[in-house]
Chains A and B, each alone.
Chain A
Amino acid sequence: AVTAAGAAAAPQGCPKAALDPDHLYNVLFVGDSHVGKTSFLYRLHADTFSPHLTATVGLDYQIKNLVVDNKRFALRLWDSAGQERYRSMTKQFFRKADGVVLMYDITSEYSFSDVRYWLSCIQEGAEDGVAVLLLGNKTDCAAQRQVPTEEGECLAKEHQLMFYECSAASGHNVFESMISFTRLLKGREDELKNKTEEVPKAPQKKKGCCW
């Protein structure tokens, strides 16, 4: 298993992974406003927590390099704004996502009930069979919990999503979930390749599909 610390140490200072990744995936983060999308990405990027991050406007973007199972992965992470008014803008970017991370806040039932709305957006806007990771954030705020773990699990099962609970504040499950998700993305890519093997013009999807 890859430890969080190991995963964190490798990417930033590893120019090889950055310059020449074996695999490159576009991952879009969606979910209600204030559930912790930006904080999650900040934890992933700097391995710290800042309570003073500003509300995201439009889209933000960063690259995370990971080494998983001895392979170099570059994840293009797209952080979207959660407020409703921005959704028409966010929707334009669903189509190019290889994976979507759908986040809710375990201390907000409201954000959990919106998960179904977001799933419909994904269904509508993203490619068929896009990998989806459902994340329940803020496990550090156990006292304010409004959404039981089982409910998240149940919803994930129903829609065949990968599921984790995590905390951007404490770091709980942040790297673990992304590493699992990377494996899932890799699996999807392999599947897709196998399927299209016979077709001669199989698109080399991952190379140079910057957007």
Chain B
Amino acid sequence: MASDGGRKQFWKRSGAKVPGSIQHVYGAQHPPFDPLLHGTLIKPGSKPPTTPVKLKKVSTFQEFESNTSDAWDLGDDDDELLAIAAENLNTEVVMETAHKVIQNHSKLQEQHKFQEEHLQEEKQEEFAQLTSVACGDNRLVKSVSEGHTSSSLDNASENSSMQRSQSLPQTSIPPLASGMADYSTSVTPALTEREASRLDKFKQLLAGPNTDLDELRKLSWSGIPKRVRPIAWKLLSGYLPANVDRRESTLQRKRKEYFAFVEQYYDSRNDENHQDTYRQIHIDIPRMSPEVLRLQPKVTEIFERILFIWAIRHPASGYVQGINDLVTPFFVVFICEYIEEEEVENFDVSSLPEEVLQNIEADSYWCMSKLLDGIQDNYTFAQPGIQKKVKMLEELVSRIDEQVHRHLDQHEVKYLQFAFRWMNNLLMREVPLRCTIRLWDTYQ
């Protein structure tokens, strides 16, 4: 079937063409840090220190950063934080920046194309191999290597070479792979020299007295060592303050606050006006993907509470399928803070002390909340956030790979049909969990 083939083709090529996911990332971002992302995105690929756009963005972020500290000083008023965030997240600016980034890249690419093409081919191959080692997941490996084969076969290499270099900024290739290896090749706990020095860098940054979030984000771009990932995520998501002295008290306060919510709301789950929400959560958790910790009853319980409380506190969107997936990375990462085991998957969660489990639960709740604050319109009525992002993806593809775009169009394949889930679940259904976690290192 022609259109069936078309879909396959699309998927194959999308393996190599990660720029599409640039769109995605805006959604995956927590808004306060959005502007910086552009700065970070621009850096790896481009050699000359780029446009005024970047400078503007960074200064906006710095402005915001100082505002954030103030907000923390005021106590925890989420609404205020949100308002500040909203000010800083302007879709037009985001779009404009994306345009410029891409334009810049293609210009640069034109210049360097000939010298670099050969080099890139090698890098690409190296990356495919590294990924296959690191991931051990056939699906991803296949898509990466197929993407490579198909695009090198493809004679329209002008486009594809541009995409490749965007998707795999050269400077980030080795760390990216090593970051993944860090998570999966856990059999050998001994760190290599480079890993050890990376870990040291993180530790220095995290030690304070005020963690430079800008610097931390830059460092995290190429992967966060497993040992410091929980604290790094809590900082990057905006859950923990940059100031070391205030972290412990913040944690205690927020954890208490969460369990006050539980006490206040959780009994209402069987009330008439909430039972639909609870029922939906209850039937969705057993059929989550990826299965979390083999869905131990204790885990199910925790997930139900987190999701129900979030839904009740956010009536504009409520619980929507897909949100449940977003708890998993946080939960799995935060559990690692308390256990020695390298493999989380088979760990018996009920063996942890109750207090520890409560901490993990509250931390997961707040970090998920922070993430969702930035993408709430993905889940409100008619899901405008997703519609917008799918539209953006469509525009992006039509601009950078007209051939694919035309092909889809000819076969009347709508982007909504295949990209909806990508946006709705932040790609979590498309890549294995450890890759999602690694991706979130970069895009937190």
Chain A residues proximal to chain B, CB less than 8 Å:
18-19, 33-34, 52-55, 57-59, 61, 63, 74, 81, 83, 85-86, 88-89, 92, 209-211
Contact = CB atoms under 8 A, between A and B. Distances in A.
B70 to A, nearest CB: 36
13 contacts: A33-B284, A33-B321, A54-B289, A57-B420, A59-B416, A81-B321, A83-B320, A83-B321, A85-B317, A85-B381, A86-B321, A89-B383, A92-B416
Contacts of B417: 58-59, 61
Contacts, number: 68
B433 interface: no
Contact of B287 (A55, A209, A210, A211): A55
B201 interface: no
A34 B3 contact: no
> Which 10 interchain pairs have the tightest Cβ spacing?
A58-B420, A54-B289, A88-B382, A210-B3, A57-B421, A211-B412, A85-B320, A34-B283, A58-B421, A55-B321
Given A57-B424, A210-B2, A52 B287 contact: yes
A19 B1 contact: yes
A88 B287 contact: no
Interface residues of B, number: 31
Contacts of A52: 287, 291
B383 A74 contact: no
Contacts of A63: 1, 4
- Give the interface centre of A53, A74, A211 by most chain B CB atoms within 10 Å: A211
Given A54-B287, A59-B417, A85-B379, 13 more contacts: A18-B1, A19-B1, A33-B284, A57-B421, A58-B421, A85-B317, A85-B318, A85-B321, A85-B381, A88-B383, A209-B412, A210-B2, A211-B413
B416 A57 contact: no
Nearest to B379: A85
B322 interface: yes
Interface in B311-328: 317-318, 320-322
Nearest to A34: B283
B425 A57 contact: yes
Nearest to A62: B4
Nearest to B7: A61
Contacts of A83: 280, 320-321
Nearest to B6: A210
Nearest to A58: B420
A59 B284 CA distance: 17
B287 A57 contact: no
B89 interface: no
Given A210-B412, A210-B413, A54 B420 contact: no
A210 B411 contact: yes
Interface in B276-304: 280, 283-284, 287-289, 291
A58 B378 CA distance: 12
Interface in B415-444: 416-417, 420-421, 424-425, 429
B414 interface: yes
A210 B381 CA distance: 28
A59 B412 contact: no
Contacts of B382: 88-89
B424 A58 contact: yes
B322 A57 contact: yes
B244 to A, nearest CB: 40
Contacts of A61: 417
A57 B412 contact: no
Interface string B372-404: 000000010111000000000000000000000
B303 to A, nearest CB: 14
Interface string B127-146: 00000000000000000000
Contact of B321 (A57, A74, A210): A57
A45 B25 CA distance: 34
B134 to A, nearest CB: 25
Nearest to B285: A55
Contacts of A210: 2-3, 411-413
B428 to A, nearest CB: 10
A86 B417 CA distance: 13
B32 to A, nearest CB: 26
A53 to B, nearest CB: 6
A211 B2 contact: no
Contacts of A34: 283
B297 to A, nearest CB: 17
Contacts of B321: 33, 55, 57, 81, 83, 85-86
A89 B420 contact: yes
A59 B386 CA distance: 14
B4 A54 contact: no
B288 A54 contact: yes
A57 B420 CA distance: 8
A125 to B, nearest CB: 15
Contacts of B379: 85
A74 B4 CA distance: 12
A53 B287 contact: yes
A206 B287 CA distance: 36
B290 to A, nearest CB: 9
A209 B412 CA distance: 8
B287 A59 contact: no
Nearest to A81: B321
- Give the interface centre of A34, A85, A86, A92 by most chain B CB atoms within 10 Å: A85
Contacts of B287: 52-55
Nearest to A92: B416
- Give the interface centre of A52, A53, A54, A89 by most chain B CB atoms within 10 Å: A54
Contacts of B2: 210
Given A19-B1, A58-B420, A211 B414 contact: yes
- Give the interface centre of B283, B287, B288, B425 by most chain A CB atoms within 10 Å: B287
A88 B381 contact: yes
